[in-house]
């Protein structure tokens, strides 16, 4: 009788839930839970290592002195100077458990007077600037902490067009935010600078990258960082939000940057000696009897520099750099700036009516300065 009563009670409650359109809660599946997709697991793996960064800068400001409007008709207005703090914010992620953080150079900016980092667990830590590479838009910060969560880095070159791409950021202390898409394209080059930076070999993704997400990781479905979110593309008719065209620095470039910092404590500035370049226009191409306007005309080369010693001179036209076609002077500058100290540089030239190739090893700018002094 008791068992019949229990069954009847259970049946009554089940019917009651069903009539309301609600079923009683059930235990979540531990192994085959359909909601715990690879994307969810990848986010859970990387999320604890994503940080919010605030860099405080001191900038000059000028105030107009208050005075009687009558005097403004007789003499120019008076101004006096002062200073104010300006804060730039963005994202970053921890790459070593002792507090090394990777982000964009434009997130940190020039000569910050104070940098703070907010972790997912709620801690706010003071960070110190370690080094940056202005040419590839990367920077390293360091916080004094241990046993921190780390975002695993993917292998250089192991990125597939069409694979899942997850953009993770921690902007404006809103907490970690996530957007997902795919890798749309690889090796995207920009002949002209985006802002102040020359970007080459970039990952293109349709995962939303909004202001404040710069410096955060772009992650694959395995939870490996494959890129560093850097900027979005907008045209003249677009607002500043994402329109589905975002770009990330590939992890291969980031690994080289981190290795340079680890080995030398800074990024050594490469020295090639090419001091002046001009884009080839149609009139110049006809005068030099060039087959097209591709290339960069050499205006100046530093005497004794690696390029000079290899035979580069004024009046030469650089057609290719390391087997990549040069379309403009700006593009050639961007290609040269991406090379590191010790890298080999091969230039295909058009000189005196014929083509030729020269090669040299990129030098160290600090060595060049010490020799001149």
Task: Give the residue ranges of DSSP H helices in 57-150.
Answer: 69-72, 105-108
Q: Which helix (H) or strand (E) holds 81?
A: strand 79-96
Q: Are 140 and 258 in contact (CB under 8 A)?
A: yes
pLDDT tens digits for range 252-308: 999 999 999 999 888 888 999 999 999 999 999 888 888 888 999 999 999 999 999
**In degrees rounded to 5, what are phi and psi of residue 363?**
-90, -175
CATH at residue 361:
2.30.42.10
Q: What is the DSSP annotation of 313-371? A: -TT-EEEEETTEE--SHHHHHHHHHTPPTT-EEEEEEEETTEEEEEEEE-EEHHHHHHH
List Cα–Cα distances, 160 to 182, 191, 217, 227, 228, in angstroms. 9, 24, 16, 12, 16
pLDDT tens digits for range 152-180: 999 998 999 999 999 999 887 678 899 99
Among 52, 132, 214, 230, the one annotated catalytic: 214
Give yes or no: 106 in active site.
Answer: yes
Rounded Cα–Cα distance for residues 338 and 328 (Å): 16
> Are 239 and 327 part of one and the same domain?
no
Domain-embedded: residue 4: no
Q: Is the pLDDT of residue 24 over 70?
A: no
Structure tokens at 239: 């607002």
Rounded Cα–Cα distance for residues 200 and 248 (Å): 10
Q: Is the pLDDT of residue 23 over 90?
A: no
> Are 259 and 274 part of one and the same domain?
no
Q: Is the pLDDT of residue 150 over 60?
A: yes
Residue 109: Cβ within 10 Å count = 19
Q: Is the pLDDT of residue 80 over 70?
A: no
> Are 299 and 316 part of one and the same domain?
yes
> Are 286 and 248 part of one and the same domain?
no
CATH at residue 215:
2.40.10.10
> Are 282 and 362 part of one and the same domain?
yes
Among 52, 91, 105, 106, the one annotated catalytic: 106
Nearest to 372 by CA among 305, 308, 307, 312: 305
> Are 86 and 101 part of one and the same domain?
yes
Structure tokens at 207: 């995962």
Among 52, 54, 105, 137, the one annotated catalytic: 137
Structure tokens at 361: 């090893």
Confidence of residue 354 (pLDDT cuts 50, 70, 90): confident
Rounded Cα–Cα distance for residues 73 and 65 (Å): 15
Nearest to 141 by CA among 115, 167, 165, 176: 115
> Are 284 and 255 part of one and the same domain?
no
Q: Which of 223, 249, 264 is the last residue of a domain?
A: 264
Confidence of residue 119 (pLDDT cuts 50, 70, 90): very high
Domain-embedded: residue 69: yes
**In degrees rounded to 5, what are phi and psi of residue 326?**
-100, 125
Q: Which of 143, 178, 205 is the last residue of a domain?
A: 143
Q: Is the pLDDT of residue 31 over 60?
A: no
Domain-embedded: residue 2: no
Who has greater pLDDT, 146 or 17? 146
pLDDT tens digits for range 205-243: 999 887 788 999 999 999 999 999 998 876 555 455 556
Q: What 3-state DSSP class applies to 179?
A: strand
End-to-end CA gap in the chain: 104
> Are 278 and 249 part of one and the same domain?
no
Instruction: Say which residue the tokens 């985006």 belong to.
Output: 194
Domain-embedded: residue 10: no
> Are 223 and 281 part of one and the same domain?
no
Domain-embedded: residue 130: yes
Give yes or no: 54 in active site.
Answer: no
Q: Which of 113, 143, 173 is the last residue of a domain?
A: 143
Nearest to 59 by CA among 131, 115, 116, 112: 112
Q: Are 115 and 57 in contact (CB under 8 A)?
A: no
Q: Are 203 and 161 in contact (CB under 8 A)?
A: no
Domain-embedded: residue 248: yes
Give yes or no: 236 in active site.
Answer: no
Q: How many domains does the chain have?
A: 3
Structure tokens at 260: 């340079």
- Residue 330 burial (10 A CB sphere; 0-12, 13-18, 19+): middle
Q: Are 59 and 82 in contact (CB under 8 A)?
A: no
Domain hosting 259: range is 164-264
Q: Which helix (H) or strand (E) holds 129?
A: strand 124-133
Nearest to 86 by CA among 62, 65, 114: 114
> Are 322 and 346 part of one and the same domain?
yes
Q: Is the pLDDT of residue 16 over 60?
A: no
Residue 10: Cβ within 10 Å count = 10
Beta strands per DSSP E along 243-316? 246-250, 270-271, 274-279, 296-301
> Are 291 and 206 part of one and the same domain?
no
Pairing of strands 164-169, 217-219: antiparallel
> Are 113 and 74 part of one and the same domain?
yes
């Amino acid at each position: 009788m008791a068992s019949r009563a229990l069954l009847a009670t259970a049946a009554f409650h089940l019917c009651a839930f069903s009539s309301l359109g609600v079923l009683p809660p059930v235990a979540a599946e531990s192994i085959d839970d359909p909601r715990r997709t690879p994307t969810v697991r990848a986010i859970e793996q990387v999320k604890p290592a994503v940080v919010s960064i605030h860099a405080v800068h001191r900038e000059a400001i000028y105030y107009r002195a208050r005075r009687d409007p009558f005097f403004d008709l007789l003499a120019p207005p008076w101004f006096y100077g002062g200073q104010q703090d300006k804060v730039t914010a963005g994202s970053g992620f921890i790459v070593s458990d002792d507090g090394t953080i990777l982000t964009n150079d434009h997130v940190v900016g020039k000569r910050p007077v104070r940098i703070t980092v907010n972790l997912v667990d709620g801690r706010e830590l003071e960070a110190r600037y370690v080094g940056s590479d202005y040419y590839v838009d990367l920077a390293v910060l360091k916080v004094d902490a241990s046993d921190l969560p780390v975002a695993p880095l993917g292998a250089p070159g192991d990125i597939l067009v069409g694979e899942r791409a997850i953009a993770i950021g921690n902007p404006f202390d809103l907490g970690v935010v996530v957007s997902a898409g795919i890798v749309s394209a690889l090796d995207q080059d920009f002949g002209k600078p985006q802002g102040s930076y020359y970007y080459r070999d970039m990952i293109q993704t349709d995962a939303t990258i909004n202001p404040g997400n710069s410096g955060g990781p772009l992650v694959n479905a395995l939870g490996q960082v494959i890129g560093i979110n850097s900027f979005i593309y907008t045209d003249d008719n677009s607002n500043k939000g994402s329109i589905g065209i975002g770009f990330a620095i590939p992890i291969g470039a980031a690994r080289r940057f981190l290795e340079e910092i680890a080995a030398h404590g800074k990024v050594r500035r490469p020295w090639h000696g090419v001091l002046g370049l001009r884009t080839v226009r149609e009139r110049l191409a006809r005068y030099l009897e060039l087959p097209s306007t591709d290339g960069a005309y050499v205006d100046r080369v530093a005497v004794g520099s690696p390029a000079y010693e290899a035979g580069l001179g004024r009046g030469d036209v650089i057609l290719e750099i390391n087997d990549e076609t040069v379309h403009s002077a700006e593009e050639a500058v961007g290609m040269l700036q991406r090379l590191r100290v010790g890298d080999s540089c091969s230039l295909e030239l058009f000189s005196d009516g014929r083509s030729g190739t020269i090669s040299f090893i990129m030098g160290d700018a600090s060595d060049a300065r010490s020799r001149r002094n």
